[in-house]
Structures are given as C-alpha cells and as structure tokens.
Structure 1
Amino acid sequence: MDSKSNVALKASEPPIADSEPESESAARSTHAIPIPDQAPAVEPRVPFSTWLKTTGIRYGVRTLALIVALVFWQLASTHGLHAYVNFENIPAPSVVGAALITELTGQEFYLHILYSMERVAIAYGLAVVIGVLLGIAMGRSRWAEDIILPYIELLRPIPAVAWIPLAILMLPTEQASIIFITFLGALFPIVLNTTHGVEQTNDVLIRAARSLGASNASILRHVILPGAMPSIVAGLAIGMGVAWFSLLAGEIISGQYGIGYYTWNSYTLIQYPQIIIGMLTIGGLGTLCTLLVRSACKPLLKWQAKGGRS
C-alpha cells in the first residue's frame, strides 16, 4: 500500500474529539471552582440615640412609675392617710430604707437569702425536667394524658399551705419538705403550658416532616419543640413566680432560715420595717429569677416574629 492510500485512510477516519461538550465542561468548571463559606451575618450596632428613644424611654417610664408609688407611700405614711386602706401603722419608705441598711451590715440577712435561693434552685430544676417531660408526653399521647391529667387537675388547686403537714409527715427533714412544696408550686404551670404548646403544633408540619423520612425523634426535636417553645417559656416564667410564692408558705411554717421565715419572724416580733423588707426582697428575687429564665430561653425563640405594639 503506497503513501497515497495511507493518507486517504487517515482522512476517512473520524476525527478525535479534542474537547468535551460545552455543557459538560461548564458543569465541571462550576464544580471545580470552590465556593467560599459565607461569613455569618453581623447584627448592626444600634446607635445610642436610637436606643435612648426606644428602650431608654421605656425603662424611664417604668422607673418613674416606681418613684411615683414611693412618693405616694411616703406621703400616705407620714400623714397617716386613712381612706379605707389605713397607712397609720405602715412604716414610711425612709424608715424601711434605714432598716434595710442595718440589715445589710450584718450576715444573717444574706444567710436567709442564700437558703431561699438554694431551695428554689433545687425545686425549680426538678420541676423543669419533670414538668417538660410530662407535658411532652401528655401532648403527644392520649393515653399519657388520660393517666396523668386527673392527678394534675386534682392536686393543682390545693394551696401550698395545705401541703405542709403532709410534707412534714412524709419527708425526713424540713429542708426536704420546703423543697417539695416549692417543687409542686412550680410543676403545674410548666406541665400545663408545655402540654398546650405541644398540642398546638401544626399537624401539617409533622406530616410533611414524616413524608420526608424524618424519624419521631427528629420530628420532636426540629418540629414539635420549636413550635411549642413559646408556651414552654411562658410556663417556665410563671412557674418561677409560683415557686417563690410556695417557698414563702413552706418557710413560714417549717423553716429556720430563709426570706419567708425572716418575714414571718419579723411579724411575730412586731418589726414592721423588717416585714416590708422581707416582702420586697421576695418580690425582687422572684423578678430577677424570672428575668434570668427569660434571658436564658431567648435564644430558643429567635425564629419567632415579634408582634407589634403601640
């Protein structure tokens, strides 16, 4: 075979593709280019003037409301106002303030606070764990609701004071009795609010997650709990307030230390300024603990849209 025939054969062969189709090459080039991770969004800082016009004014109004109440209290106690409510035997804020300074210089007052804080921390922690678990079970299972709800509805109306004799008989120490009474006070609001939140979860979301192959544990974690979280947080806040109320009842009867015991003992000793100090301390500690609970739960509610208020 001569050279001319070789050239003819090579010319008749199909040409070898030197490059891939444009679509495949474009797709490969797209996958080949590394996409940098997006930087997390940084919330812009609010100027001080803007904060002052919004949040600052609100806190200013709240402070002014408290100042007005203190001024009225001072004038009513000083002049012995008697208009259905008798202020003649109520010590003025100035007298209460002087007594508070005296209490703060000693150590016993702080000891009362520490005992009460310890009892509330233990009782409230147990109420959160048990209450949320019971609420989830009642909200997801009719059998669990039928078994647990009768006990909740039967025991919930019983006041904390009525539990004191039975708690003393059942539990070995006064400390355990006070914690048990405080635990009951915090438990019921947490259980009922958790149950309500779980029951109100949109069933369409649950079915959609299940159709995508989500397990029951994933549905509980990513659908039910986030949807029920506003009600759960409300129950936690209410439970903290009721816990302090129940603690006061327990410490009055069976306590040796604590703010409740301090308040009741001041009444028996006819120390009126100390009574008001104990009452205001309970209110302040309860408010502080409720704010801490709301602040701790705030990251769990970032998804929730803020409602408008005038």
Structure 2
Amino acid sequence: MPFILEGLAAEEPVAVAVPRGNLNLIREALGERAAAEVRLLDMGEAGRNPGRIIPSVLRAFADLHPGTHVRIIGEPIWPGRSATEYPACLQHEALINLAFAGRDATILCPYDVERLDPVVIKDAEETHPVIVDASGTRTSSRYEVDHVLRECNQPLPPPEDAATMRYGHDLHPDPLTRVRDFAAEYAARSGLSGDRLDDLRLVASELAANSLDHGGGSGVLRIWREDGRVVFDIGDAGHITDPLAGRHPADTHQLGSRGLLVTHLLGDLVRVHTGPAGTTTRVYFDVNGDA
C-alpha cells in the first residue's frame, strides 16, 4: 500500500497485477475513489502463462505512459503454482530488468514468505537486485540473472506417450495444413473445443512456420495429454539467441512472423529450450479451463 499511495501522491501511473484474493484486499484498502486511479489486474488470468506478463501486462502498461515514471506491482509466483509452471515463472522474473533496461519504471514483486517454499524465496534474491523484507531495504548479494536464465534453459523432459509427425516442404506439399490438422484433430479428441481449439491450431501453425522459415526448413511435432491439459511441442534446428524473443510487444512496423509472441499470448503455459543444436517450444492448453 505505501508503494501505491506514494505513486498516486506523485501523480505517477500505477498498475497492480496480483492474484484475485490479494487484488480484492488491495481494492478494499484503497477505497473506491483511489482504486479507480489504479490499473488493477487479476494476475491469475493476465499472467496465467508467465511468458505473456512482460508484453501484455508490464510493457503494455508502461508503454501507455512514455516519458513518465511508472510504478507496477506484479506477483507472478503465488502458492498453488505447479512445479511445471515454476521454471517459466522464474525465467520471467529474471527477464524483467532486461526488458525494462533504460526505461523509467519501478516494479515491485511481492512474495508470500509464509506459504511459498523457502527455495522460491532464495531464487527471488537471484532475480531481483533489491530486496525489501522485515529488516528493511537492501541490495541483493545473490543477484545473478544470467545464472538463472541458464538454469531455466534446460532440456524439457520427453513425453511418455506422444503422437508424432515430421513436417517439411520436402515431406508434404502443404506442411502447415498437415501440422494444423494433425494437432487440432488430436486436441479435439482430447476435449479441447471452441475458441481454444482454434487457438491451438493457430499456435501450431505459427511455430511450424517458424521452423520452415528459420529452423532448417523442417521440424517434428509431438502432442499428448498431461494432467488435464493438451500439450504439444515443436522441435527444429533453429537457435533463439534473443532471451526476450516472444516477449517484445507487437510492433506494427515489424515484418514477418510474430509466432512466438502469439504462442505466449494464447498458450496457458509455454516452455522453451534452445541452443546451437536446435530449439523445442512446448505449449500447454488447459482442457475445460482446468490445469
């Protein structure tokens, strides 16, 4: 609350993106009049996939106020995040300072020290240059985002039972149609429907197009069911060198594909492993809204 009220007193734009329970507490503490001056977002919805928080929450708000100092509260890690989600959350936290380099913004990331695993709190000291706790404000002696990003870029565990297809211009006359149909048919049999099925079809097509254009001209699609989700990944020979790839807000002047950004915006969770030997992009879609 002091962080928010100080911002409002200085007439600075303020945004708060936290899970719904905490959002309700903040709204109540602010009161109706002050709450109307703050951009309030449910992080459980806006940040369900941690990979979309930078482009669609943090940068989306900051970019509305060019040349102005902004304050943002973002809580991407809360009790209840799964072990599958956590590496993506940790990677997101490590990328924030890189995404905001040279910009006039202060971002506060709350951590529930009573309910989160102590390992999570230790990780936070590696992804944040400044720590605020019961003892006051201090510089983090463990701040080391490059190490965190290397640790987050690990090979993804192989699926136990996946339907697989290879695609490429040398294999099919219309590989993107084959990829879309293969993925959508499997997902539909697994219970995905409506707009979410259309989203999966689009993401599969965008990632496969990246393979054809930038990943050696071919790739492998694997799709399977896992814990109430339809999961698929695309593997190819490409190497992503920009750590913020897929997290830059859409640029209307950009030519070519925005496939990885579309993937982050539409998927319920996205994991990427990349290196000189190739890239695997894994996307999770919740069936019936349940993880």
TM-score, length of structure 2 as denominator length = 0.24
Name whichever structure is richer in helix by fraction.
Answer: 1
* Structure ID, larger Rg: 1
